[in-house]
Chain A
Amino acid sequence: MSFEELEHTADVLMRVRGATVNEIFADAGRAMFHVMYGPCKDRGIERQVSLEADDLESLLIDYLSELLFITEVENTVFCTFDVDVRGTRLSAALRGEPFDPARHSGGTIVKGISYFGLEIVKEEEDYVVEIIFDI
C-alpha cells in the first residue's frame, strides 16, 4: 500500500506517495475508501468520473469530494481507481461493488476533505501529499 495513516487527534491524516500524479490520485481514493469501509472487492460495478479544476490540489479535493458524493448516493464501494491526470483535468475509471452493511460497516463516514496542509510535493523520485479527512 502506498498510503499510511499519520497521527492526528481529531481527524484522519493520510500520507500518500506515488511515482506519478496518477498514482497518488488513485491511492488517495483508495485511502479514503479504506477509512470509510475497510476491505472491498471488485464485483463488476464500473463508474467514470471527469473533472477540471484551477490547480492540482483543488483537482484532488474535487475528485475526492466527488467520490464521497457518488459512494453515498449510489451506494457503491470502490476498490480500484484508474486515474489519468493531464494538467488540471482528470478522468477516472472506478471499479467496485454495491454497499453491503454486513461487510462495509467497519469504517466511518468521511465528512469532507480539508485544504489544510494539502500540497502535492516532489520528494526525490516520488510525489507525496498529506490529506486530512474530516470524520
Chain B
Amino acid sequence: MLAGINRVGDIEWEVPIGYVPDMRVPGRFFLSRALVETLEEGAVRQLANVATLPGIVKNSLAMPDIHWGYGFPIGGVAAFDMTEGVISPGGVGFDINCGVRLITTPLTEADLAGKKRELIERLFSAVPTGVGAKSTMRVSNKELAGVMVDGARWVVDRGLGTGADLVRCEGEGAMPGADPEAVSAKARQRGVPQLGTLGAGNHFLEVQVAREIVDPEAAKAFGVAEGQVCFMVHCGSRGLGHQVATDHLRTLEGALAKYGIHLPDRQLACAPIDSPEGRAYYGGMVCAANYAWANRQVIMHEVKSVFAQLFGIDYDEMRLIYDVAHNVAKFERHDIDGTSMEVCVHRKGATRAFGPGAPGVPGEYAAVGQPVIIPGSMGTSSYLLHGTVTAMQKTFGSTCHGAGRVLSRSKAKKEVRGKELREHLAGEGILVRAHSDSALAEEAPEAYKPSREVVRVVHEAGLSNIVVRLEPLGVIKG
C-alpha cells in the first residue's frame, strides 16, 4: 500500500490534492486489495499529474488496469471543461483509437475440429501482421482523405461490410470533426500502405469460444450463445495515428508558453480545446480515429471471408457485436453534480461504457447498455460486458480496457521462452501464430494482471457488468 493514498470504498481509492504540487482536483482509482500490491508509485504520480491540468472536471480517474505509462497513466480517464479546459495527446497516446471488435460466427467448437490449424494459417496469410507489414489493399491519397472523414463507412461503401456493421460501432465507426488538413503529408504517406494491417506489440486477432454466459438476458440482446465460436480484432490507427500524435505533440509542446500552461511532464503538452492548436490536434486525432475504425472493418471483412470459404458458411451469418475505442478524446455530455455539461473526455487505455438508454448506444442494445469488450492477455479469457448507470455517474461512462501489464517486456523475455509458451498453449488447445517467438514471450500471460481479476473489480465497482466470458482457441499475434 503506497503512502498518501486514502481508501474511500471497498475497491475505490483517492489520491488527495497535494500528492503532487498544483493538483486542481483529487485523483480516484478503482482497485481490489489484491491488485493494489501491483500498483506502481509512478502510475499514481501520473494520475496526480493529470489533476494539475487546466479545466479538469471532478476527478482524475484510473481504471483497475492502471499502470505506468507516459503523460496519463494507462487506464487513465479525465474530462475537461469545454471553455476552461485543455486537450492533450498525452491523454490519448500514440496509437489513436486503438480498439477492439468482437464478431460471432454460426459455428461451434466442434465445427472447428480438424480444421483449426488450417484456419489459423489462412488467417495469418489473409491479415498482414508484424513489423513492416503492408496491406494488399491499394488506397490512393485522395481515397485516404475519404477514409479519414468517413471511417468504417468508407470501407462498407466499397462492399467490405454492411450498414448493420456501422450501427454496431462506437460512434457508428466515425467521429465528426475530422480535419484532413491537420494530418501531415508524412502521416498520410504512412497511412496509404497500411489500411487493413494488424500492427505489432499487443495487437492480435483471436478465434474464441463463448465459454460462459454470465448474464443470459444481456447475452441474448448482444446475440451470443454458449459454445458459439467468435473472433476478436485488437488494433489501432497504425503509422498514420502514430505520426499524427508525434506531429501535434510537438506543436502543442511549443505552444505551452503562449497559453501560460505549466506542466509537471512535457508529455502532458496540451492547449485550450478551442485554440488553433487544440482544434488542429482534435481534427487530426479524429482523422486517425476514423482510419482505425476503417482498419478494423477491413480486417473483419478479411477474416469473415476466410471463415466463409473454409467452413462454407454465409458471410452474413457472422455478426459484429460491437467495436470500441480505448485510446481517444471525445466531446460528450455528462451529468456533473446535477448539471448536464459538455466535456472533452480523454480515455487512455480505458473503454467507453455507456449505460442503458444513454445517447449513442445502438437502439437494439438500449435496454442493456453499450457492449464493452475487454481482451485478455494471450491464452487467457476475454470478456464481453455492458455499460452501466454507475459508470455514467462515477467515471464519465468509462471502464477498463484490458488486463494491464505487471512484468516488463525484458523481464518477460528472460522468464518465458516463446517456443515453450507456444507449445504449452498448443497443449491446452490454443494455437498461436506469430512472426517471432520473442514477440510471443513479451506478451506471455504472466506478464499481465489476471484479466478475471481486473474484470471482477469493474464488475464489483459497478462500472460495467460481465455478460460473457470467452476463451481463446487460436491467436494471430501482431
Contact = CB atoms under 8 A, between A and B. Distances in A.
B407 A9 contact: yes
A10 interface: yes
Contact of B409 (A69, A99, A135): A135
Contact of A7 (B189, B200, B411, B436): B411
A50 to B, nearest CB: 16
A54 interface: yes
Contact of B253 (A58, A104, A106, A134): A58
A118 B200 CA distance: 25
A69 B250 CA distance: 15
Interface of B is mostly: mixed
A104 B409 contact: no
A65 B186 CA distance: 11
B410 A5 contact: yes
Interface in A99-135: 99, 101, 104-109, 111-118, 132, 134-135
A133 to B, nearest CB: 10
Contact of A111 (B242, B250, B269, B409): B242
Interface string B184-222: 001001100000000111000000000000000000000
A68 interface: yes
Contacts, number: 106
A105 B70 contact: no
Interface of A: 5, 7-12, 36-37, 54, 57-58, 61-62, 65, 68-69, 72-73, 75, 99, 101, 104-109, 111-118, 132, 134-135
B70 A134 contact: yes
Interface string B28-50: 00000000000010000000000
Given A112-B246, A116-B71, A37 B131 contact: yes
B139 to A, nearest CB: 15
Contacts of A132: 70
A8 B243 CA distance: 23
Contact of B406 (A9, A54, A61, A62): A9
A135 to B, nearest CB: 5
B435 interface: yes
B438 interface: yes
Interface string B417-440: 000000000000000000110110
Contacts of A58: 250, 253
Contacts of A75: 132
Given A9-B408, A115-B267, A105 B436 contact: yes
7 contacts: A7-B408, A12-B409, A37-B131, A114-B70, A114-B267, A115-B70, A115-B265
A112 B94 contact: yes
A106 B436 contact: yes
| Chain A to chain B: the 8 pairs with minimum beta-carbon distance, closest first | A112-B94, A116-B70, A115-B266, A114-B70, A111-B94, A105-B435, A109-B200, A116-B267
Given A62-B250, A105-B132, A114 B407 contact: no
B253 A115 contact: yes
Given A69-B186, A112-B246, A8 B408 contact: yes
B71 A108 contact: no
